[in-house]
Structure 1
Amino acid sequence: MRFRVSVMAVACAATSILVVPAAMAAPTVVTNVQGYTLANNKLVSFSGLAFDKGKVLATGNNTALVKRYRAATLVDGEGKTMLPGLFDVHGHVFRLGFRRNEVLMGGTQNLDEALSKIRDYAKANPNRQWLLGSGWNQVIWKLGRFPTAVELDSAVADRPMTLRRVDGHATWANSKALQAAGITRDTPDPAGGRIERDAAGNPSGVLVDKAQLLVTNIIPAPSDDERRLALSTALAHFGSLGLTSVGDAGIGVDEARIYREFADQKKLTTRVYAMISDVGDDFRALNTKGPLKGYAQDRYNLRAVKLRGDGALGSRGAAMLEPYSDDHGNKGLLLSDDATMNSKVRIALKAGYQVNTHAIGDAANHQILNAYEAAYKDVGGRGLRNRIEHAQVVTPADIPRFKTLDLIASMQPTHATSDMNMAEDRIGKERLKGAYAWHTFLQQGTVVAGGSDFPVESANPFYGLHAAVTRTDHEGKPAQGWHPEEAMTLLQAFRAFTLDAAYAQHQEKVLGSLQRGKWADFILVDQDPFKAPAADLWKTQVLQTWVGGERVFRKE
């Protein structure tokens, strides 16, 4: 599908990326669309959008807009659906870029298929000294256990290889990698981590949570050129998915430097709301002038800190108040004791940063809620729109505290549909009452901001919208949705990925809806999500993506 534009497009290096500078066409009117946006807490429709110098002038009837702006450049939307640019408030941008150049285990149905894919990748990359991959899930493989180093050795034995689990909270290593890290039966489990062992006590090949650092800390660091390639790869992917703004949940000095470089060179084709990882050396280096707000015409922000409370449910690293239903001696892992977590929250809030803390298990959520409550009394910061990232399993008594503490629930709808095959096994029916509880949070007035946690999940926001509304997989299973009482309406889900996401990033005055004075970030898609069957939402294809009045993607 091609769209007729009365100005010449300037092609970028990637064939799927087109940038049309706003300065070439002031103002511009996009006509003949079925447009939707939020205004005054309601969904409004329009057939035309006018913008100038990258910002919205008006939405409304396209004929009236053409008459009002007689000198405008006209862009024919050919009857397609226009939406505000979509957000993903929680992902890992560089990790996504790197991962798209690694061996990916997502979609493999069993261990043999995964090992075959690994062998092929190793043969195709003979010069890589350390092989990397990700996306494995022993639950889908129906192993009933973690994979082993010996099994990975059968595919790659000549070089170190490590593969992150789909949730990022466990790493599968071959024997060469374990040897390079000096991991033996005498190596103790580090605080906040666990070395999986065989019956004889020898390392079996999987490292959980902070134990992963034993190998990841010795993997050669990427060069700046490799980081630039990763960022360019990720940005092109975002444009193709209709993501005009993403939150990067945990960066350091190196990533911040590349972001500033891309922003200064006008190459940041998706807006980035970055969070400094923890309050250690990187925080001290990046906090010399305080939070960075609205840099490069709101293309880049560095005004939040990302903390981590626990691991993930799939690897049983999520910290639970009571033992796992399928592992009675295990409650998961808190990554910090209460005093340390309280101190970290206070440091970040006192410096004026929004604090966004990863908490999946009910014990981690309880710890973080207590930390925010204590910090507000000590240093303030309640108005910084602090967030709990994931808020995945919360004891029902703690859910109202999100509202009383003015916290945002930053949640990932596809986590529910990915986890539904194992969540009840892990925590049982009773604890599911406070799990993936989007509707409960919304009903009490808590803002729910949408994301995916890419590359743990697909970055496609239409997958998130589909999961939020249906609570089914792409085959429509289970038929009535998994715990459908916690589903969102389509309007709630749309808001979570637009205006409420912008609010969660302190950007609702400039982004999140197509209203006068806001940036002209919008997408054109191939179906009307407000008229299409909910079961088909995930099939939506993005045809064009515009950021600040510049077209950054067109589907050929």
Structure 2
Amino acid sequence: MKKIFILFIFSAILVSCQKEKVDLIVINSNTYLVNEKFENAEAFAVKDGKFIAISTTKEIQENYKSDNVVDAKNQTIVPGLIDAHCHFYGLGLQQQKVDLTGTKSYDEVLDKIVAFQKEKNATFISGRGWDQNDWDVKEFPTKEKLDKLFPTTPIAVRRVDGHALLVNQAAIDLSGITTDTKVTGGEIIIQNGKMTGVLIDAAMDFIKFPETSNKEAIQGLLDAQKIAFSYGLTTVDDAGLDRNTIELIDDLQKSNKLKMRIYAMISGDKQEQIDYYIKKGITKTDRLNVRSFKIYGDGALGSRGAAMRKSYTDRENHFGALIYAPERYREIARQIAASEFQMNTHAIGDSANTWMLKTYKEVLKDTKNRRWRIEHAQIISTKDFQDFDNILPSVQPTHATSDMYWAEARIGKERMKGAYAYKTLLNKYGKIALGTDFPVEQVNPFLTFYSATYRKDLNNFPEDGFQMENSLSRKETLRGMTIWAAFSNFEEQEKGSIEVGKFADFVILNQDIMSVDGGKIPKTNVVSTFLNGEKVYSK
């Protein structure tokens, strides 16, 4: 009997020794791999930051051992989520400024600015988030009340979409602009011969903001990371960064202070920046990918800056505007086409989309797999959809459910047929990249999931969904937030799905977004977020 016992112990030790030691094992899960067959798995093993085995709980436990075992208790796991279009750095900086998101009136905006100043005593007040379309009086504000409250402190607060700026007289005096200042690609709104204090698109560039300190920039990036991890985001596509910010991100990542993976779209608003990066070439690390330029085609629909082929339905003889002269887009596109870089262009209005699609086609000719992107692709003329056969659409589903209350009044019923047409765009290209455009919209990717699939607001409006012919299925939506977003970044071989050899980026959720009742999707919470197999967030 003693010999048998010793033999059993020896066999157990032998079996244990044969098991491969790994850094992390996850068992008893409902994992959506988001691989080609969209399969599920129960368990997986992680070593050196990558998935090395995916199988049943029994097989993983038989073949691997670890000091770090997570029993998921049948909770849902999805690949690390990717926001294909956001303003990560902008979100971080916003945490240091007055937040006007969700304000329901101009008076509430003023109250928030007053409260902010009492706490901060700032020498220059900036912030973001107001939206006149959410107010009872859906008109741009004017600066008179601001001037009375703050006669000497400059104030400049951006509309939620970032394409309009409300300033007071102190900020105007500091900038030196007048009613005679000439603007190309934007507008200084004037009423009765006086500036109202609202500046659109390129006109905003005249306002002199104080420089962001290095300390503020670092804190902003860290604050944004904390927020993003709490929503299960492990990669963010930051749409428009300058060289200094990109280099700061690189330094923070190298020192392991910043762990977030960032697809950095270089801001193409300065020629010297385009020249610098094209000469430098693509920068690629495990956490940073610098291989694209973000170009602005036009403004936003909410501020009537989107470039339209015909005048706005609710403003006669107003068409919005391209940010640059048409030939300038050709120049930029030709230069980028001659490099390995990707071109990603903000295009909202049907005129902007027409021109950018035409320009892309002209310079790319028959070249394949350049994955040039149209960001937003919001209002498309019917005949232009065919041009998305080789141009990748990058859209933000919550824009549809934010704009649906007033969009038709702005552009008319006929043009709405080609607006927020995500299913049509998916069918033309075969893939679609999904993001939020935060902080224009909320960071929460589950609102993206809900808007894409059910196309309703949180009050279940409209009852039958908004233009449901262009809703996406749950599988399509999850792919758009993971593997298709990775594809749009040329990163599909390293992330976007749970497969052997890829980065071990994954998220544990409190409910199954693929099967839960649709109305419950917005209530989805992240239990834990893992990046490289390391837990970076836990509720």
Return the TM-score normalized by structure 1.
Answer: 0.91
Between the aligned partners of 1:71 and 1:96, the Cα distance in structure 2 is: 37
Counting only pairs closer than 5 Å after superposition, residues 215-230 of structure 1 correspond to structure 2 as 215=207, 218-230=208-220
How far the C-alpha of 1:115 sits from its partner, in A, is 1.3
Is 1:34 equivalent to 2:20 in the alignment? no
Secondary structure at 2:298 match in 1: coil
Counting only pairs closer than 5 Å after superposition, residues 478-489 of structure 1 correspond to structure 2 as 478-489=462-473
How far the C-alpha of 1:323 sits from its partner, in A, is 0.4
Counting only pairs closer than 5 Å after superposition, residues 79-478 of structure 1 correspond to structure 2 as 79-126=74-121, 128-188=122-182, 190-199=183-192, 201-215=193-207, 218-278=208-268, 280-293=271-284, 295=285, 298-377=286-365, 382-403=368-389, 406-478=390-462
How many residue pairs are counted as aligned between the two chains?
Answer: 518
Conserved in 2, the CA contact under 8 Å of 1:171 and 1:212?
yes
Deviations 1:329-364 (A, max 9, x none): 100011122211011011112121011011000000
Identity %: 37
Secondary structure at 2:512 match in 1: coil
Secondary structure at 1:306 match in 2: strand
How far the C-alpha of 1:106 sits from its partner, in A, is 1.2
Secondary structure at 2:126 match in 1: strand
How far the C-alpha of 1:444 sits from its partner, in A, is 2.7
Conserved in 2, the CA contact under 8 Å of 1:175 and 1:205?
yes
Conserved in 1, the CA contact under 8 Å of 2:179 and 2:188?
no
Secondary structure at 2:104 match in 1: coil
Question: Could you tell me which amino acid in structure 1 is paired with residue 475 of structure 2?
Answer: L
How far the C-alpha of 1:422 sits from its partner, in A, is 1.3
**Residue 549 of structure 1 aligns with which residue?**
533
How far the C-alpha of 1:76 sits from its partner, in A, is 1.8
Q: Which moved more, 1:420-429 or 1:145-154?
A: 145-154
Secondary structure at 2:152 match in 1: coil
Question: Could you tell me which amino acid in structure 1 is paired with residue 189 of structure 2?
Answer: E
Between the aligned partners of 1:332 and 1:73, the Cα distance in structure 2 is: 56
Question: Could you tell me which amino acid in structure 1 is paired with residue 29 of structure 2?
Answer: V
Structure 1 vs Structure 2 CA RMSD: 1.4
Secondary structure at 2:200 match in 1: strand
Between the aligned partners of 1:414 and 1:442, the Cα distance in structure 2 is: 17
Q: Which runs of 5+ in 2 are unaligned?
A: 1-20
Between the aligned partners of 2:315 and 2:498, the Cα distance in structure 1 is: 49
Aligned pair in 2 of structure 1 residues 301, 381: CA closer, same or farther (>3 Å)?
farther
Secondary structure at 2:33 match in 1: strand
Aligned pair in 2 of structure 1 residues 381, 246: CA closer, same or farther (>3 Å)?
farther
Conserved in 2, the CA contact under 8 Å of 1:116 and 1:155?
no
How far the C-alpha of 1:151 sits from its partner, in A, is 2.4
Between the aligned partners of 1:349 and 1:72, the Cα distance in structure 2 is: 50
How far the C-alpha of 1:287 sits from its partner, in A, is 3.5
Deviations 1:57-104 (A, max 9, x none): 122211211111145632222332111010101111211101122111
How far the C-alpha of 1:445 sits from its partner, in A, is 3.8
Counting only pairs closer than 5 Å after superposition, residues 48-67 of structure 1 correspond to structure 2 as 48-67=43-62
How far the C-alpha of 1:531 sits from its partner, in A, is 1.9
**Residue 512 of structure 1 aligns with which residue?**
496
Question: Could you tell me which amino acid in structure 1 is paired with residue 42 of structure 2?
Answer: S
How far the C-alpha of 1:155 sits from its partner, in A, is 3.6
Between the aligned partners of 1:276 and 1:442, the Cα distance in structure 2 is: 26
Question: Could you tell me which amino acid in structure 2 is paired with residue 290 of structure 1?
Answer: G
**Residue 6 of structure 1 aligns with which residue?**
none
Aligned pair in 2 of structure 1 residues 148, 549: CA closer, same or farther (>3 Å)?
same
Between the aligned partners of 1:347 and 1:287, the Cα distance in structure 2 is: 9
Conserved in 2, the CA contact under 8 Å of 1:359 and 1:388?
yes
Between the aligned partners of 1:432 and 1:538, the Cα distance in structure 2 is: 26
Counting only pairs closer than 5 Å after superposition, residues 1-40 of structure 1 correspond to structure 2 as 26-40=22-36
Deviations 1:37-56 (A, max 9, x none): 2122x321111121111111
Secondary structure at 1:43 match in 2: coil
Conserved in 1, the CA contact under 8 Å of 2:25 and 2:66?
no
Between the aligned partners of 2:378 and 2:148, the Cα distance in structure 1 is: 36
Conserved in 2, the CA contact under 8 Å of 1:338 and 1:371?
no
Between the aligned partners of 2:287 and 2:243, the Cα distance in structure 1 is: 18
Q: Which runs of 5+ in 1 are unaligned?
A: 1-24
Deviations 1:467-504 (A, max 9, x none): 00011111111111111111111111111001100000
**Residue 12 of structure 2 aligns with which residue?**
none
Return the TM-score normalized by structure 2.
Answer: 0.94
Between the aligned partners of 2:206 and 2:498, the Cα distance in structure 1 is: 47
Between the aligned partners of 1:151 and 1:447, the Cα distance in structure 2 is: 48
Aligned pair in 2 of structure 1 residues 261, 71: CA closer, same or farther (>3 Å)?
closer
Conserved in 1, the CA contact under 8 Å of 2:374 and 2:394?
yes
How far the C-alpha of 1:549 sits from its partner, in A, is 1.1
Between the aligned partners of 1:44 and 1:515, the Cα distance in structure 2 is: 11
Question: Greater Rg, structure 1 or structure 2?
Answer: 2
Between the aligned partners of 2:351 and 2:136, the Cα distance in structure 1 is: 28
